[in-house]
Chains A and B, each alone.
Chain A
Amino acid sequence: MTTKSILESFINNGIIPEQQATLITEYERTKSFSIHRELRAILYVGITLLTTGLGILIYKNIDTIGHQAIIVLIAGSILACSYYLFKNRQPFSRGIVTNSDQFSQYVLILACTLFLILEGYLQYQYQFFGTRYGIAIFIPTVLFFFCAYRFDNRPVLSMAITGLASWLGLTISPLSVLEKNDFTAPGIIITGIILGIALVAFSWLSEKKEMKSHFGFTYILLGGNLAAISGLAGLFRNDPKILYFVITAALCAYLIQNARKNQSLLFLLMGVIYGYIAITYAAFVFLPDSILAGLSIFYFLFTSLGVLFFLLNVKKILRLKK
């Protein structure tokens, strides 16, 4: 099926006149090939390569003459980036800034990463913050939060949230929450739950107050994931189990409810999967053995069919629009 045959069928059905069809054919013939996304991806790869290289370069060349030149170079680059950002800044807005300069976002990411490298170096070489490591992480976090809001930059916001989490000793990136966090360490589960719920609450507040409501997604994805996994870890490991179960279940219910409001089905999926794990585990722990014996053969078959039915009819059940 080609453009030509589609247009012919349109003409035959009397939907568009022939003249318009020639116009569309002309458009299809001459339309340009946009490599916008590819170029942005290459730019981003470049930034990653450069910052990684600089990070290694500094540590390898410590105590040589060259390394002071590198420090000056990094500091100079940060200043240059800041100048560029300052020159091309847009007035602050509570919503999405659409007409910003096309390079600003990448320059800000570069500047923030370079700042991390420089700060790490200062601490390593001169013990700039002494043994107060907390402050060393806290300063970039605050700075990144400020930059994210001022320049309307979601990647930097996620860097800031990451910094906040590592200040509390947690890893928050969705793909490594499970493998990188040591949930056997005391207090880490509670911290995770509290930070996660705080982030989710913050996304709710952002949306309610219409203060950068498009940041809500980042907050809820990072926070919800962390809180749900910490809650499950608590459910598996700690007592009282009922408390952790209630927390996790409530969070999943909120995520599913949020999917309805925001029309975002990612949160629906998170809510359903975490909720299913929590309920299944709770059923096997709380139910008496006599019921379990009969239930266990059919449990997974029928509950997964139930979830399938729910997902198939999710639009009707939650009254989603799309």
Chain B
Amino acid sequence: MKKPYNETWINNLHIQNISQSWFKRNLITPKQFEKIILEFPESFYKPGIFVKTGLFLFTLLAGCFFSGFISLFFLENSTDKIFTVLSIVCSISYFFTLEYMIKDRKLYHSGIDNALLYMAAVAALIPLFLSFDHLKIWQYCLIILIVNSFLLARYADILIAFISVGALYVMFANVIVATPQLKPFLPFCLMLISAIIYSLNRINYGVYYTNCQIVIKIVALVIFYLGGNYYVVREGNALLSDLLTPIAPQIPFSGLFYILTMAIPVIYIYFGLQNKDRILFITGLLTTAFSVFTYRYYFDIIPMDLILVIAGSVVIILSVLCIKYLKTPRFGISDQKDESQSTANLEAMLIAHQFGQAPAGDQLHFGGGDFGGGGAGNSY
């Protein structure tokens, strides 16, 4: 399929980024770097994240009022048919503007094109949903999947990739739940689907789709973990069988799920470190946290506050030990500071958010309760 974004430029951008990292490590000279920039040019419009956000928001605003403006002409009789026509008109206008803006302003996921694409996709789906009502969930998902797959292949947008893969999962899950023979094996089916998606996703589809592949990989890893997580399976089982008991009943194969809940994060972290795969590693860390939560949910022996203190101390000591241990790189893992991205300002804002929620009223009862606790609880 012909792609709207200039593929040579995207490749050149990739080359420039890699050369820049070599340049920073003094592997190539400044002169060579300049020559690379000259030989592999690109002239995309790439604003910073904040201008991107602004462009995105104001494009959405303009798009909404454009559709509102169009609908003024059809105000008299608002039937489904009129609405269908209206959506098609809007969708075509958005797609046309999108293609024109990409060509004219050399956009490359710069906020405007993202917003136009999402609005166009939604406007294109509305008539399909209106003309086929009373379908099953998986049939709706199939429609979303088909439309989004075309958009994904053409525009390689990460949100579209996320929605496509989400629709795929919901579709399969819906079919499996509806089939009585397969229903008990839902977690294993989801894990199997994740594994298939993950292995298909390992093929390199080119620089054009790199970011989309990252999104799909994250989704596949997370669903694979959740499919084997004891908490999700037990509570999900109760939910699907409409069991209204306060405590979800024990599930078959519980031992297997215990093992999976513990083993998957460890496997993720191990292979993340071994293959130098940051996504696998970070997913492993986050799933570890969820596994700890799962354990704590069913084994409520020690009170919460004590757990927090112990866990906090253990985590602090572990990370400090790791930092000390990795002072000299070992096993290909290091604790080197990456100077390219400073997160100092972000950290400050996070802390301001965490400690900064003292409503005016609480000042009066400083002595009693949450506020006086300083860092105590989330309500401070």
Cα A147 to Cα B67 in complex, Å, equals 54
**A102–B323 CB distance below 8 A:** yes
Interface residue? B206 (CB, 8 A): yes
Q: A15-B32, A127-B367, A133-B364 are in contact. Are A39 and B376 (CB under 8 A)?
A: no
Complex interface: stretch among B84-92, B153-161, B338-346? B338-346
Across the interface, do A55 and B373 meet the contact criterion of CB distance under 8 Å? yes
- Which residues on B sit within 8 Å (CB–CB) of A172? 352, 356
Q: How distant is the Cα of A33 from the Cα of B312 in the complex, in angstroms?
A: 26
B11: A residues at CB distance < 8 A: 1
A137 in contact with B363 given A51-B375, A52-B377 (CB within 8 Å): yes
Please state if A48 and B333 are interface contacts (CB–CB under 8 Å).
no
Cβ < 8 Å to B, chain A residues 61-103: 102-103
User: Which residue in B105, B306, B312, B358 is a CB contact (below 8 Å) of A51?
Assistant: B312
Contact A55 B375 (CB under 8 A): yes
Those of A147-174 within 8 Å (CB) of chain B = 154-159, 161-162, 165-166, 169-174
Contact B305 A300 (CB under 8 A): no
At the interface, yes or no: A217 with Cβ under 8 Å from chain B? yes
Question: C-beta contact mask, B83-114 vs A, less than 8 Å → 1, else 0?
Answer: 00000000000000000000001000000100
By beta carbon, the residue of chain B nearest A54 is B309
Q: List 18 A-B contacts (CB under 8 A).
A: A9-B15, A33-B334, A43-B315, A49-B315, A50-B315, A53-B308, A56-B373, A124-B368, A154-B344, A166-B358, A169-B363, A170-B360, A172-B356, A174-B352, A176-B356, A268-B54, A311-B51, A312-B112
Q: Is B184 in contact with chain A by the CB < 8 A criterion?
A: no
- A300/B363 in contact, CB under 8 A: no
- Known A-B contacts A27-B25, A32-B329; A312 and B55 likewise in contact (beta carbons under 8 Å): yes
- A-B complex: 8 closest residue pairs judged by Cβ atoms: A55-B376, A53-B308, A50-B312, A116-B374, A46-B315, A49-B312, A173-B356, A120-B372
Distance (whole angstroms) from the CB of B322 to the closest CB of chain A: 6
**In the complex, B354 has a CB within 8 A of chain A:** yes
Query: Are A158's CB and B66's CB within 8 A?
Result: no
Task: Assess whether A1 is in contact with B206, with CB atoms less than 8 Å apart.
Answer: yes
The verdict on A42 contacting chain B, using a C-beta distance below 8 Å, is yes
Within the assembled complex, what's the spacing in Å between the Cα atoms of A301 and B63? 8
**Bound-state Cα–Cα, A3 to B361, Å:** 59
Q: Is B57 an interface residue (CB 8 A)?
A: yes
Residues of B close to A56: CB separation below 8 A: 304-305, 308, 373, 376-377
The chain B residue sitting closest to A50, CB to CB, is B312
- In the assembled complex, the Cα of A102 lies from the Cα of B36 at a distance in Å of 36
List A contacts of B376 (CB < 8 A): 52, 55-56, 58-59, 117, 120
| Total chain A interface residues with beta-carbon distance under 8 A | 104
* Interface residues of chain B: helix, strand, loop or mixed (majority): helix
State the CA gap A172–B359 with chains docked (Å): 10
Known pairs A35-B281, A154-B345, A218-B352 / 6 extra A-B pairs, C-beta < 8 Å: A13-B39, A36-B338, A42-B315, A133-B366, A304-B61, A312-B112
Judge whether B54 and A32 touch: CB under 8 Å. Answer: no
A198 in the interface, Cβ–Cβ < 8 Å?
no
Docked complex Cα distance between A34 and B331 (Å): 11
On whether the beta carbons of B304 and A272 are closer than 8 Å, the reply is no
Q: Given known contacts A42-B285, A43-B320, is B51 in contact with A49 (CB within 8 Å)? A: no
With A39-B322, A301-B65 as contacts: A109 and B305 at CB distance below 8 Å? no
The answer to whether B305 touches A57, judged by C-beta atoms less than 8 angstroms apart, is: yes
A122-156 vs B, CB cutoff 8 Å, 1 = contact: the mask equals 01100100000100110000000000000000111
Q: How far is the CA of A46 from the CA of B338 in the complex (A)?
A: 22
Q: Complex: how many Å from CA A95 to CA B64? A: 47
B250 within 8 A of partner (CB): no
